[in-house]
Structure 1
Amino acid sequence: MTDGAPTREDPLAATLSEGLGGPLGERAGRHPWWTPVRVLLALAAVVVALGMLQKAPCYSDTWSDSDARFSQMCYSDLPYLYTGRALVERAWPYSGDETLRERYPEVMEYPVGISYWAWGTALVAQGLTGWPDLDERAGADPGSLFGDVEVQREIRAFVIVNALGFAVLTLLAVWLLARTHPRRPWDALWFAVSPALLLTGLVNWDLLAVVLVAGATWAWATGRPLLTGVLVGLGTATKLYPLFLLGALLVICLRKRRWRALGLAWLGAGVAWVLANLPAVLTGLEQWRVFWSFNSERGADLGSLWLVAAQAADLDITPSTINTTSLVFFAAWCAGVFVLGMLAPETPRLAQLGFLLVAGFLLVNKVYSPQYVLWLLPLAVLARPRLRDQLVWQAGEVLYFASVWWYLGGLLDAGGGGDAGFYWVAIVLRVAAELYLVALVARDVWRPRHDPVRRRTGRLHESPASR
């Protein structure tokens, strides 16, 4: 079980290990209890705990200090959406009740998986804090509820419940990633100790989709195409991007002529997505549509190259222009990934193709929030499990994470007035770091001898059922 040990095959990891006893030796034995997976889970638990601690400055005052949430970089969407989306009144996210919608015109702008989870955790938080009187709240101004002492206690409970849930999901994702290539469990190390995971895990609910993507890669590697599709479908019902894994499966199955596996995966994804969305559609079709209309109508937003172009060049770029241009560019990107995958000397791995597709989507997206790094993380660590490359990529993400909060807090404003140019630089550097990793993964696909997963034995470490 020492295949893929970082200090044995990763030059930078081997160099850094010199002060701790050096690389793993050929005669190294196995500890009777501390297996690689258990070590990874322990490391991930530490990172999750540090991530919670990183949000402590905001938690202490229930995210009421508008300056601290940016200067301390501890912002989270969760407390604001608890009151802003009627969770504070235990309202079903897809309720069309006229009185409710008059008081709370803004509907949950996320796919159904996130809405269900947020509603469920709100119920748990209120149960833990004593089930408040909703009749009293119905007579209050929704805008005043955030400052209510009782509500603030619920908000803290809501964040804690979500944080504990995210902790479980993170550990599950680590386990799944470590089991994707059973002879290479250490590839999951760069996920378990990721600084991006530490900083962004509690910003929003993106970890819900992350664990489903990790599950899909595990299911495919272990020869379970139907389960792969189900997990992709549930992931798409939680965040749109897992859908792109179906494109990666298409390339793999075309090359290997695995028509049955492709059909099962696509069927499982379609059925799972429909069933997941059915409760929302049946109870509030208009509210369900908000996610789709919200994204089509939004303009150039934080983190995107569109924002840099609009601000730096003083351009008025309409949402329709962004939608059309992004669609054309992404279609061309997908075509390029398809050609690369079909012409590569060996069949690419799911994580490689999935990473390239999701990265292309993010590069042209009209918004690139700091927590979107989590979309790439499980795919990136399986596609390119090398410390140097993960550090370069995640350094760009960490730089952007700090910059976006300082930008929103006005800390990057130019001394003489004008735009915050450093924020544009941070966006460009983040994109450059991502393109660096994209280039390496594309090279690994085109020249498999560079692929760290294949290099050691000249073949892919996976179960026979998935080849």
Structure 2
Amino acid sequence: MADRWGDAGRHGTGGQHLFSPTPGWLVTGVVVWLAAMAHQRTCETRVAGQNVNALLRLCYSDLPITFQNQLAAGHSPYAGTSPVDQPPLVALVMVVLRAVVGLVHPVGAGVTGQQALDGANLFTMVAAVLFGACFLVVLFAQLAIRGRLAPGRRASGWVLAALCLTAFTVGIVNWQLLAAALLMGSLWSWHTRRWISSGLLAGLAVSASGHLLALIPVLAVLCLRDLDWSRLLRTAGVASLVTVVVNLPAVLLWPSGWTTWVTSQLLPPVGLGGLWQELLPDGPVQVVVARVLVALTVLGIVAVLLLTLLGHLTPRPEQLLLVTLGLTFTLAPGYSPQLALLLVPLVALGRPAGWTAVLAASEALYWAAVFAFLNGSLRFGERGGETPYALAVVVRLTVLLVVTLSVLAETWTARPERGPAP
């Protein structure tokens, strides 16, 4: 009898499944994550004022910097002269983890630079333990969903390798792995018809990463396409309610800090990771182009959702969300390497295993290139070393665009009455 997590990766004869990949995947995930934490430790600055070059060692993280600059003094993450540039759920998690750190290190007004540094290092490791649990959730949900999508088909080692590579390289850069775990939990709940749980986790995922804002309309459109009003209320309705509840305290108590985060999401500047920084001169032109790109992204997402609603596209939720993220990250004025934590799990569910491996490799190439570029290690080529960095950006964008278009081609149907394209 197939267990309740599905049959992905099981094989045997006569219906007897002799092997489950779940223990192997989870053990591999633990080993990879311990290696990632050990790698991160090499970037710790132990003495205040004697900073380690984290970019040179390819283990940069925002977490210790955020703790030292915004959290060590003990005020709210959204208060102070420099509020954190993170969504409300992440700000709440920061407060909880800071309280844990406060049990060991002083936290509050008057802390010395060395005390703030020691607290930052502990804060990063405590967060890394949380992220490790999130990574295991991502792996577990992958197997569970894949087992339902393709019963009896072996789980691919390429997918595991892609997920592990992404987690090792960018898992501790910032908080995206928390959002990835919530997203995968929401998709698993959707595929197991746990509608309220799917909506609850979707709302938390949106509150943990502004890049997942399209998740709520994605769920709503799929419910409307099927004329399932009850599911619409229990998924998109619950997700919207959760998003409002999580954001409302920040809006009421720290409006300027919350507005800073929203502005950074809706009106991002031209920066690293996009071709626009290479193609456009500095100044007002970049600002105008950045606004135009945001508008084009919104129009593209609306068009894809409308085609889905009309039945011309027949995607699953992970495929539809992958298309929206693909459009967003292709046109985006800038791009951060840790966003691969949202993309790679979706590609693993929506495309063949080989595609997942190629995308993960292109993202890892960009991660290495941007860190080397920021560190000044790219000294060959034209324009003071920018050529190899720009090539890495082109490779990443090309792979992402091809993946996005392939999902559109696979889910396209000429007439609504036809079934999904083979």
TM-score, structure 2 length as denominator? 0.86
Q: Is the alpha carbon distance of 1:73 and 1:64 closer, same or farther for their aligned partners in structure 2, counting shifts above 3 Å?
A: farther
Matched, 1:127 2:110: no
Alignment deviations for residues 295-329 of structure 1 (CA, whole Å, 9 cap, x no partner): 45542111122222226xx7753324312332124
Residue 208 (structure 1) aligned to one of 173, 178, 192:
178
Aligned match of 1:91: 75
Secondary structure of 1:58's counterpart equals coil
Aligned to 1:37: 22
The one of 267, 271, 282 aligned to 2:237:
267
Alignment equivalent of 1:232, drawn from 189, 195, 202: 202
SS of residue matched to 1:71: coil
Could you tell me which residue of structure 2 aligns to residue 465 of structure 1?
Answer: none
| Alpha-carbon distance in structure 2 between the residues aligned to 1:431 and 1:395 | 12
CA RMSD of aligned residues (A): 3.0
**1:92–1:210 Cα change, 3 Å:** same
1:106 aligns with 2:56: no
Partner of 1:237, secondary structure, is helix
Contact between 1:236 and 1:242, CA under 8 Å: does it hold in 2? yes
Which residue does the alignment assign to 1:254?
224
Distance 1:328 1:108 in 2: 28
Shift of 1:125: 1.6
- Normalising to structure 1: TM-score of the pair? 0.79
Spell out the pairing of 1:159-178 with structure 2 (5 A cutoff): 159-178=124-143
SS at match of 1:109: coil
Map of 1:12 onto structure 2: none
The answer as to whether partners of 1:303 and 1:368 remain within 8 angstroms in 2 is yes
1:387 to 342, 347, 353: 353
Match of residue 54 from structure 2: 69
1:298–1:319 contact (8 Å) kept in structure 2: no
Q: What amino acid sits opposite 1:165 in the alignment?
A: L
CA shift, 1:378, in A, is 2.3
The reply on whether 1:323 has 2:307 as its aligned counterpart is no
The one-letter amino acid paired with 1:363 is: T
CA offsets 1:255-283 (integer angstroms, 9 cap, x no match): 32212211322220121011111222232
CA distance in 2, matches of 1:39, 1:192: 10
In our comparison, the structure showing a higher alpha carbon Rg is 1
Provide the C-alpha distance between the structure 2 equivalents of 1:331 and 1:367, rounded to a whole number of angstroms.
Answer: 18
CA distance in 2, matches of 1:297, 1:62: 37
Distance 1:259 1:63, change over 3 A: farther
Structure 1 residue 289: deviation in Å? 1.4
How much has 1:71 moved relative to structure 2? Answer: 1.7
Find the counterpart in structure 2 of residue 435 from structure 1. Answer: 401
**Which SS does the other structure have where 1:317 is aligned?**
helix
Q: In 2, Cα distance between the equivalents of 1:232 and 1:357?
A: 15
Contact 2:159 2:348 in 1 (8 A): yes
Unmatched 5+ residue regions in structure 1? 7-23, 96-100, 449-453, 459-467
Q: Could you say if the C-alpha distance between residues 206 and 135 of structure 1 is closer, same or farther in structure 2, counting changes exceeding 3 Å?
A: closer
State the identity as a percent: 25
Q: CA deviation at 1:28?
A: 8.7
Gaps (5+ residues) in structure 2?
415-419
Q: Deviations over 1:172-210 (max 9, x none)?
A: 222233223544586586664421121110000111111
CA 1:340–1:274 in structure 2 vs 1: closer, same or farther (change >3 Å)? closer
**Is the CA contact 1:400–1:430 (under 8 Å) kept in the aligned structure 2?**
yes
Q: 1:407 aligns with which of 337, 362, 373?
A: 373
